[in-house]
Amino acid sequence: MTKWEYVTVPLLVHVTKQILDNWGSEGWELVQVVPGPNADNLVAYLKRPVPNE
């Protein structure tokens, strides 16, 4: 069974693509984007498989 690790990332509206591309290049997959604590921000939830040890 695959084990996952998760991270939450604040997204700035004017650089959302760059932020997601950066995390994606490290193997993170976007799960969901939700409103942040204020109207100018979003929060992304990402996951990636935990490497086998």
Residues spanned by the domain of 28: 4-49
For residue 11, what pLDDT is reported? 93
How far from the centroid of its chain's Cα atoms is residue 2's Cα?
Answer: 19
Q: Which of 50, 51, 49, 31 is nearest to 20 (CA)?
A: 31
Alpha carbons 12 and 42: distance in angstroms, whole number: 7
Distances (CA, A) of 5 to 9, 29, 42, 45: 13, 11, 20, 11
Find, among 7, 5, 3, the residue nearest to 19 by Cα: 7
What are the tens digits of pLDDT across the range 1-53? 899 999 999 998 889 999 999 999 999 999 999 998 887 789 999 999 998 86
pLDDT at 4: 96
Domain count, the chain: 1
